[in-house]
Amino acid sequence: MFDKLDEIEREYRQIDEQLSDPAVLRDHTKIKDLSKRKSELQPIVECYRKYSRILKEIKDSEALLRDEHEEPEIRDLAELEYTELVRQKETLKLELQKLLLPTDPHDQKDVIIEIRAGTGGEEAALFAGELLRMYAKYAEGRRWNLSILSQHATGVGGFKEVIASISGKGVYSRMKYEGGVHRVQRVPQTEAQGRIHTSAVTVAVFPEAEEVEIEIDEVNDIRVDVFRSSGPGGQSVNTTDSAVRITHIASGIVISCQDEKSQHKNKSKALKILRARLLDIAEQEQRDQISQERKKMVGTGDRSAKIRTYNYPQSRVTDHRNGLTLYRLDAVLDGDLDELIDALIAYNQAEALKTGAVQSR
Write the pLDDT tens digit of every residue in 279-318: 768 767 776 777 677 676 666 555 556 899 999 999 999 9
- Whether residue 315 contacts residue 328, with contact meaning beta carbons closer than 8 Å, is answered with yes
Q: Is the pTM of this model over 0.85?
A: no
Write the pLDDT tens digit of every residue in 132-147: 999 999 999 999 999 8
Strand order in the sheet with 306-311: 145-153, 159-167, 111-117, 197-207, 180-186, 306-311, 316-319, 325-326
Which pLDDT does position 360 carry in this prediction?
A: 44
Which pLDDT does position 304 carry in this prediction?
A: 55
CATH of domain 111-211+294-354: 3.30.70.1660
d(CA 45, CA 6): 9
Query: In the predicted model, is pLDDT for residue 219 greater than 90?
Result: no
Parallel/antiparallel/unpaired status of strands 254-257 and 159-167: unpaired
73-77, 202-206, 344-348, range with the lowest pLDDT: 73-77
For 222-288, CATH number out of 3.20.20.10, 3.40.50.970, 3.30.565.10, 3.30.160.20 equals 3.30.160.20
